[in-house]
Structure 1
Amino acid sequence: MTTSNFEPTEPAAVSDEAARLSASARDHLWMHFTRLSSYDNSPVPTIVRGEGAYIYDVEGRRYLDGLAGLFTVQAGHGRRELAEAAAKQAGELAYFPIWSYAHPPAINLAERLADAAPGDLNRVFFTTGGGEAVETAWKLAKQFFKLTGKPLKHKVISRYVAYHGTPQGALSITGIPGAKTMFEPLVPGAHKVPNTNFYRAPIHGDDLKQFGQWAADQIETAIIMEGPESVAAVFLEPVQNSGGCFPPPPGYFQRVREICDKYDVLLVSDETICAFGRLGPMFACDKFDYVPDMIVCAKGMTSGYSPIGACIISDRLAEPYLHGTDYFPHGYTFGGHPVSAAVAMANLDLFEREGLNQRVLDNENAFRTTLEKLNDLPIVGDVRGDGYFYGIELVKDKATKETFDDDESERLLRGFLSKALFDGGLYCRADDRGDPVIQLAPPLICGQAEFDEIEQILRAVLIEGATKI
């Protein structure tokens, strides 16, 4: 989508306003996951507008949104029909809780999500985001087993370096030590197993399928070690985000499903990022042919136009709550918010009208092929991912796969790449939770023109970045 009708504000006026906003942000706005000292001597990047696949800062500069905000803006920026859906619903019923009551937007959205989910996942518990949905899934798993005569089942298993959210329970499930240490002690009972990073496979590094079977079998080993009578659930992303977009090897999820069934352990598919077309299908578990017991989702449900999340739950898990006096003592003030639910419905209408799911499936190979052109650079070790969700791992030595040490990674990622990519016109993520990677997840409306622009900016910046170490 072009933005040729955009007229920047007069330079002097823009600069004055930019300076005012930057100073106010430094004094009052606590930015998330941000070193606040980073802006002691530099302006705070301030985004004021979005249109299609592009965002604009306060001084009128344009950037390709290579991360869809935060893996979220599936339908692109500036979709008036979504804003209008929010305004219409706010004019009718701006807020009412779903604590023992219901309203049409929540009812209709729950039905739509249940219809789209695989198997018997027919119950929807709304939250305001993915972390809350992960928290919901763990709490429900614990209570479900207490109600069904297995009260010791409370532990969960997740993967190394995986990110599952910031609430205390979700943070325990998260596998990033640096994100957790300062908040310990956390909720006990969360245990970690190897992820599916084939590029750095510790075993079967020459056979993807065997590596996948080995990685899945580590889940069974962990269940046995902890005691099957104590393990309630396994939390897995279809494509693991943190660490740089690790896809599942062939047969991985089928083996995990088999293991969970064997030991009566629930399989939770954390699709906070992967659902709603990011990998193509509405739910990513369909792409990899497995049916979980719960799906956690958020982000792309509204394309980011209003906050909402959900835990979609199987009939089996809901059954104990359908009779007698037992209930789930859990909820959120803004869960299933009527405005957010109405926006989600309009967003899913847009998906159907514009065929966004099929668009990703039609274009994913072109996105991969375009990014793989970067493999000719010595600093690029691996290009991996699926759909419109990719990570590019950066290495010090391509032949040996030697990574950068902490000081080099700091200088490369935060000292150069993050700013250089943004200055070059690309908003994306340079991250070192695990090995250094650049992550890309553009809006689903993107096509070859945007893929080429991403590759060209990355190429220029990475060539320069290689000289900084």
Structure 2
Amino acid sequence: MIHDQLQRSARESLILHFSKQEVDDLLVLERGEGPYVFDTQGRRYIDALSSLFCAQLGYSYGAEMADAASGQLRTLAFNTNWGTAHPPAIELAERISALAPADDYRVFFTGGGSESVESAWKLAREHFIAIGQPERTKAIARKVAYHGVTLGALSFTGVPGYKDGFGTPPIEVSHVANTNAFRASDADPAAATRRLLTEMEAAIVAAGADEVALIIAEPVQNAGGCLTPPAGYWAGLRALADKYGALLMADEVITGFGRIGEWFAISREQVAPDLISVAKGLTSAYAPMGAVLARSRVVEPLVEGRRVYRHGITFGGHPVSAAIALKSIEIIERDRVLENVRSHEAPLRERLVRLLDLPIVGDVRGAGFFWAMELVKDEDNTRFGQAERDDLLRGFLPGRLREAGLIARCDDRGDAVLQIAPPLISDAGLLDEIVAGLEDVLRDAAKHMGVG
């Protein structure tokens, strides 16, 4: 199909995800190369979002991935992990376990992020039933955090607008403050850690300490704009989970497999959670796949009691996806991709911090190749109102970013932010180009909004 035909066909046949269904000029991408993608009119864009935090390796490893997939398709095209297994899934589980922040994780495969969060919850429930604590049916999550849209995962999600109209959540979840230091009253990180952990403990007690099964959080929270934790925060969560007998879960659907320069972002906190959910970067988006990592203390009661984990996903651990994930891990190691992120993290931060000179940028935050700029309407960091956010984030910025040849994310699930997450293969020149493009776009956005 040519461009106009694709536009018409999309309007008539395709239901878009998280989008209005009437889009006048839908961005239709047909080709990728390195960190770039090309639309159906031949225009090139820097994919400064890694296709929604997924395309860790960019778009130039297709031949290697195709060889891995082809070899598996010729050997065993499909088999489930329902009472059987196959070599790619076993090898991948072993490989992931070896990269994890402790040496006793087992791996359950899923098809994506929401499925991973759902699977982790059901595994937590099975654990507590097996050890004679079936009353643990509640969880603690954080405000504004996004953990998925299937109904179980949606229970953890702390974005009220995503829940409206879908009925009573199936899981009782208490939501506590996130780690947004920009909007916090305490400038001292140590004070912030104390405040956040005090609130977390109070929420556990209020919910009934013997009824809380899970504490779930992202190492760097996506929704709200790349919210990093203060020092000691995750160690404090670990201590609270242990004190009250709950399981601690790191949702690494976005941060896992290199996004901040580590296989698992939680490794920077020197904490080993009981559960870890992953998805997007597991295959570098060359195939759909997710997983849950569970420590032995979670799984052993099921093993020892010869219990059935009453959960399964037909395509979880698909042989072709597993083969591609193994190839992706091999490439990340071979091409020193994590080292690339770590070496460019500090210079990228320095470049982005200079954007604070623009009157519309109130804060810059993030880690690795995962950054957000919070957008404000004046030097007092006043929030934009709803009509202003609609104009800025859904009106002006998307078109201006396309004009600049940049793909980034405009979001206001918390406050108004512009996010980037470049492919992990990006070099200094490309990162400079991204930041320069952002500077031009944001300068024009300030003029458009009458800021400064």
Report TM bin, short chain: over 0.9
Q: Who is 1:127 aligned against? A: 110
2:405 aligned residue: 425
Residues 293-304 of structure 1: matches in 2 within 5 Å?
A: 293-304=274-285
Name the counterpart of 1:73: 55
Instruction: Give the secondary-structure state (helix, strand or coil) at the position aligned to 2:221.
Output: coil
CA contact (8 A) 1:171 1:186 kept: yes
The answer to whether the Cα contact below 8 Å between 2:130 and 2:305 also exists between their aligned partners in 1 is no
Gap regions ≥5 residues in structure 2: none
Query: Does the Cα contact within 8 Å between 1:121 and 1:312 map onto a contact in 2?
Result: no
SS in 2 for 1:357: helix
**Superposed displacement of residue 223, structure 1:** 0.3
Q: Residue deviations 1:411-450, cap 9 Å, x none? A: 0111100121022100010111110000110100002111
Q: Give the TM-score taking structure 1 as reference length.
A: 0.94
Conserved? CA contact 1:389–1:441, under 8 Å: yes
Deviation sequence 1:42-96 (CA, Å, 0-9, x none): 2211100001100000111100000001101111113121122112212221111
Q: Choose 263-272 or 73-82, whichever is displaced more.
A: 73-82
1:183 to 166, 174, 189: 166
Deviations 1:218-270, CA, capped at 9 Å, x for gaps? 11110011111110000110000001000010111011111111001100000
**Whole-Å Cα distance in 2 between the matches of residues 396 and 324 of structure 1?**
59
Is 1:468 the equivalent of 2:451?
no
Moved over 3 A (4+): none
Q: Deviations over 1:168-226 (max 9, x none)?
A: 0100100000111121222131110000000000x32x212211221122111100111
Structure 2 counterpart of 1:272: 253
User: What amino acid is the match of 2:437?
Assistant: I
Q: What amino acid is the match of 2:111?
A: T
Is 1:56 aligned to 2:41, yes or no? no
Which one of the candidate residues 408, 414, 435 is aligned to 1:434?
414
Structure 2 Cα separation of the partners of residues 212 and 447 of structure 1: 35
Distance in 2, matches of 1:280 and 1:65, equals: 18
User: Distance in 1 between the 2:120 and 2:76 partners?
Assistant: 29
Percent identity, please: 46
Equivalent residue letter for 2:338:
N
Please report how far the alpha carbon of residue 324 of structure 1 lies from its aligned counterpart in structure 2 after TM superposition.
Answer: 4.2
Alpha-carbon distance between aligned partners in 2 of 1:85 and 1:43, rounded to the nearest angstrom: 36
Tell me the amino acid that sits aligned with residue 90 of structure 1.
L
Deviation of the 1:118 alpha carbon: 1.8
State the partner residue of 2:181: 198
Measured on the aligned residues, the alpha-carbon RMSD in Å equals 1.1
Alignment of 1:1-12 (within 5 A): none
Whole-angstrom distance in 2 between the partners of 1:358 and 1:48: 30
Could you tell me which of 313, 329, 332 is aligned with 2:310?
329
- The yes-or-no answer on 1:117 pairing with 2:100 is yes
Q: Distance in 1 between matches of 2:199 and 2:261?
A: 28
**Structure 1 residue 335: Cα displacement:** 0.1
* Aligned partner of 2:428 among 419, 442, 448: 448
Question: Does the Cα contact within 8 Å between 2:109 and 2:291 map onto a contact in 1?
Answer: yes
In structure 2, how many angstroms separate the alpha carbons of the residues matched to 1:458 and 1:75? 22
Q: 3-state DSSP class of the match of 2:79?
A: coil
Aligned match of 1:305: 286
TM-score of the superposed pair, with normalisation by structure 2:
0.97
| 3-state DSSP of counterpart to 1:359 | helix
> Distance between the aligned counterparts of 1:190 and 1:58, measured in 2?
44
Deviations 1:125-180 (A, max 9, x none): 00001110100111111121111011111101110000000110100100000111
Partner secondary structure for residue 164 of structure 2: helix
Q: Is the Cα contact below 8 Å between 2:126 and 2:302 reproduced in 1?
A: no
Q: CA deviation at 1:119?
A: 2.0
* Alignment pair present for 1:237 and 2:247: no
Question: Which residue does the alignment assign to 1:172?
Answer: 155
Measured against aligned partners, the alpha-carbon deviations of 1:323-363 in whole angstroms (never above 9, x if no partner) come to 34411010101000000000000000001101111111111
How far apart are the structure 1 equivalents of 2:174 and 2:248? 15
Three-state SS of the structure 2 residue aligned to 1:385 is: strand
Shift of 1:397: 1.4
Range with greater deviation from structure 2 (116-125 or 255-264): 116-125
**Distance of 2:378 and 2:122 partners within structure 1:** 45
Work out the CA distance in 2 between the residues paired with 1:19 and 1:77: 25
Deviations 1:292-343 (A, max 9, x none): 0011001111100001100000101111121344110101010000000000
CA distance in structure 1 between the partners assigned to 2:360 and 2:260 by the alignment: 27
Equivalent position SS for 1:336 = coil
**Mapped partners of 1:219, 1:230: distance in 2:** 15
How do 1:389-404 and structure 2 match up within 5 A?
389-398=370-379, 400-404=380-384
- Residue identity in the other structure for 2:431: F
Q: Is the 8 A contact 2:139 2:171 kept in 1?
A: no
Pairing 1:44–2:26 present? yes
Alpha-carbon separation, structure 2, partners of 1:371 and 1:448: 13
Are the aligned partners of 1:158 and 1:175 in contact in 2 as well (CA < 8 Å)? yes
Give the counterpart of 2:65 among 64, 71, 82: 82
**Would the aligned equivalents of 1:268 and 1:294 in 2 still touch at CA under 8 Å?**
yes
Question: Does the 8 Å contact 1:121/1:293 carry over to 2?
Answer: no
Q: How much has 1:122 moved relative to structure 2?
A: 2.1
Size of the alignment, in residue pairs? 448
CA contact (8 A) 2:283 2:321 kept: yes
SS at structure 1 position matched to 2:447: coil
Aligned to 2:210, what secondary structure does the other structure show? helix
Contact 2:140 2:215 in 1 (8 A): yes
| Counterpart secondary structure, 1:313 | strand
Paired residue secondary structure (2:448): coil
Q: Does 1:281 align with 2:262?
A: yes
SS at match of 1:183: coil
Are 2:137 and 2:171, in contact at CA under 8 Å, matched by a contact in 1? no
1:380 partnered with 2:361: yes
CA distance in 1, matches of 2:347, 2:66: 31
Give me the whole-angstrom Cα distance separating, in 1, the residues matched to 2:396 and 2:69.
Answer: 40
